[in-house]
Every structure is written in C-alpha cells, then in structure tokens.
Structure 1
Amino acid sequence: MNQPKDLSTRNRILQMMKTSGPLSTKEITGQLGITEMAVRRHLGTMERDGLIESKMVRQTLGRPTAVYGLTELAEGMFPKKYHTLTLDLLGELEQECGEDTVNRLFDRRKEKLNRQYEADMQGLDLPEKVRRLAEIQNENGYMTECEQQGDDHFVLMEHNCPISQIANQYNHACDCELKLFESLLDAKVERTECLAQEGRKCVYVIKR
C-alpha cells in the first residue's frame, strides 16, 4: 500500500485500518517497515487516546491473535459530507413540493426533539433547565457554554453548529431551534448572534 511520505506513522496506521479493516501488530509492522516495538508503542498511544480498540481473533492454528480496529472517534476524523446529500434531497423536495413542505419537515423535527427532551426538564427550575439544555446541546456537538448573569438571566453560547451548512440555506432550521429552546425552558429566548448569519457563534439570551 503506497502512503504519502508526509503522513505521520499514526495517520498511516489509521488509514491502513480504514482501508483494510482490523489489523494485527505483525500486519502493521510488515506494511510500515518499522520495528514491532515501535508499532506497539504507537498502538498503545492510539488505544489510550481512544482512536483504536483491540479484540482477540481465533486462529486456525495456535493462540488467538490481537487485532486493532478504528473506534467511532477515529471514524469521525475521516471526511464525511452528509450535509451535501441532505441539501440535495431538500432541494429536490423544495422543487417538487415547495418551500412550505421543507419548513414542515423542520417543524416536525423540532416537535420530535421537544418530545424527546421535555421529560429531562420536568421538575427543574429555570437555572437547572438551562444547564440541562447546555448538556444536551454539548452531547449533540454544539460546543456549548452557559453564563448566568442574574437570577433569571442567562446567556447560552454555541461555538459549533453541526447543521450549519443546512441552516445557511434554510433559515427555518434556526427558527425551529429557537422555538425548541423556548418550549423546553418555558422562558423568553432571544438569539443575538448566529453562525448561519456570519456570526462567530450562536448566542441565546434567556430570561424568565
């Protein structure tokens, strides 16, 4: 397998596992042309960092052999353009059925998320709800920070938007997120900055 010379050994191992599947130390050593000790050192570091995981595979003869494969974290390091397919499909739907149909899809997604998370908010006061919302958004990849600026005044900041490419084209997605926050928090929510509108982050001011 030919590898670009500027790739680090670690990245070469990741690419090998991506293209060939789980590999043993012996197989990696043979492909890289370095010592087995060096390979084991790299594998140990990568396993510690959560990029690879090992499992034992039975052989026809002899003892079971350890093989190493990519974790979900490592899979996420490879380029994926899911948003391109989504935008293509939404564009086809809009052309076929109109913008209102696309907007209804975003509305239904908002209602689904509201049903999914409303139980998390039961019995909580506003500060606890805001903190729980920040946790939910962090779990979904939004890189969220929360600041309390008074008893009933909070600022929620999202430094990343996993659907930013879609929201850039379909602003109704952002409107639905705002309404979702209002519903879950049972509070007044104002967006003062938006990644989809050339902001550096999404900023929500929350008041009782």
Structure 2
Amino acid sequence: MNQEPDVSTRKVIITLLKTKGSMSVGDLSKRLGITEMAVRRHLNTLERDSLIESRLVRQAMGRPTHLYSLSAAADELFPKKYQFLTLDLLEELEAVSGQEQVNLLFERRKDRLIGRYEERMAGKPLTERVLELADIQNANGYMVELEEQEDGTYLLQEYNCPIAQVANHYNHACSCELAMFRNLLGGEAHVERTECLAKSGSKCTYIIKPN
C-alpha cells in the first residue's frame, strides 16, 4: 500500500495546527475535505508519535469536544536557523571585544560540557570511557562510529557536526572538542585528530591510543 498520501495528509494537519492553532476533528474534516473518521485515524498516528496533544473543551450547547494542538516535540519539525543567529552573535562579539573573547566563550562551553559528563567517566577503565564518549557524541547528533583496532587503538569517527556552520568560521570550537576528549579520557590515552569536517574532511576522525 502506498503510504505517501497518508504522510502528506498528516503534514497538512501539522501545518494547519501550526498556522491556525487548536482545531477539532470537525474543523480539520472541513479543511481537508475528508471524513471525520479519516481525520481521527491521522490524529491517532500523530498522537502516538507524540506530535499532537488534545484537551476536552465544554461548549455552551451540545457535547464537549476535543481540540487538538501541536506538542512541544512537533516544533522540531519546522525549519530552524539557529546557526545563523549564533554566527551573527559571535561576529558581533568579535567586532566589539576581539577574537580572544570568542575563544573564551568556546573554552567556557568546553569546561561546562566536561563538568556535565565527567561523572559518567568516574572510576571507569579506558574501554568503558571510550564507549561512554561515543554514546555522548551520538546523543548530541555527531553520528559516531567506534572501532577497536587489533593493536588496542580506538578509531572514533564522527560523520556529522551539529555545529558545522560555527566550526567552519571558528576553528577554536574544534580545538575545544579535542581538549574535551582528552580531559574526559584522562591520562590513560593519547588522543589525536587526523581528519576534520571543518577543514574539508569527509568526517572527524580521532585516534585514541592507550598509554
């Protein structure tokens, strides 16, 4: 069965709820030109995927009705341009206070991330630390592949960089990531980056050698 019409209809429902606000099944049925039963089927799918919420509203006459609206999770479906705002703010800071202040921001961010994750590393051998590091980066959207070599060296490769637009302009962001890796893995390993997305690489590649 071709699922494309169903997906397209659900996209229209999401767009309507975004632009028109809360709507009932009847409202959506009229807008879409489909039966209320069909609307409910789409709403059930969207509710299952945690993209919409419903609330029961009492009316002056007749039975209470459910109104449907987008959930907080659905906001991620719409375009975001955060990287451009970030770049604009960093460029303004650089113009006013110089490159050193921009670098200081990246250093403070690095220290905050280390403070957030160091408890996950505490008391663990290197192998478990490397696995934790891969999990952390994956959770942050870096699309990590981790491979242990025959000599005990780890190859950690990141195929995506969520801050690529920023890192392309401010390479200190990449230096801070390397420093964070070294800090979280402690003195048990030598960490070297051999390829970088921000420097025309196809991925970020880290070699982690046990000391």
TM-score (norm 1): 0.88
> 1:100-137, CA deviations, whole angstroms, 9 ceiling, x for partnerless residues?
11001101110111111101100111111111111111
Q: For residues 50 and 14 of structure 2, what CA distance do their matches in structure 1 show?
A: 8
Q: For residues 160 and 82 of structure 2, what CA distance do their matches in structure 1 show?
A: 16
- 1:18 match: 18
User: Do 1:153 and 1:205's aligned partners in 2 also have CA atoms closer than 8 Å?
Assistant: yes
- Report the identity percentage: 54
RMSD, aligned CA: 1.9
- 1:160 match: 160
Q: For residues 79 and 175 of structure 1, what CA distance do their matches in structure 2 show?
A: 29
Q: CA deviation at 1:63?
A: 4.8
User: Do 2:103 and 2:172's aligned partners in 1 also have CA atoms closer than 8 Å?
Assistant: yes
Q: For residues 169 and 124 of structure 1, what CA distance do their matches in structure 2 show?
A: 36
Q: For residues 64 and 206 of structure 2, what CA distance do their matches in structure 1 show?
A: 55
Q: How does 1:104-123 map to 2 (within 5 A)?
A: 104-123=104-123
Q: CA deviation at 1:35?
A: 1.1
| Runs (5+) with no aligned partner, structure 1 | 1-6
> 1:65-86, CA deviations, whole angstroms, 9 ceiling, x for partnerless residues?
3333334443212111011111
Q: CA deviation at 1:89?
A: 0.8
1:53 corresponds to 2:52: yes
* Matched letter for residue 56 of structure 1: R
Q: CA 1:27–1:87 in 2, change beyond 3 Å: closer, same or farther?
A: same
User: Do 2:52 and 2:69's aligned partners in 1 also have CA atoms closer than 8 Å?
Assistant: yes
- 2:85 match: 85
Q: How does 1:163-202 map to 2 (within 5 A)?
A: 163-186=163-186, 187-202=189-204
Q: For residues 180 and 71 of structure 1, what CA distance do their matches in structure 2 show?
A: 35
Q: CA deviation at 1:165?
A: 0.3
Q: How does 1:1-80 map to 2 (within 5 A)?
A: 8-48=8-48, 50=49, 52-61=51-60, 63-80=63-80
User: Do 1:155 and 1:205's aligned partners in 2 also have CA atoms closer than 8 Å?
Assistant: yes
Q: CA deviation at 1:202?
A: 1.5
SS of the aligned residue for 1:152 comes to: coil
TM-score (norm 2): 0.87
Q: For residues 37 and 67 of structure 1, what CA distance do their matches in structure 2 show?
A: 15
Q: For residues 71 and 135 of structure 1, what CA distance do their matches in structure 2 show?
A: 27
User: Do 1:56 and 1:64's aligned partners in 2 also have CA atoms closer than 8 Å?
Assistant: no
Moved more, 91-100 or 17-26: 17-26
Count residues with an aligned counterpart. Answer: 201
- Stretches (4+) displaced over 6 A: none
Moved more, 25-34 or 145-154: 145-154
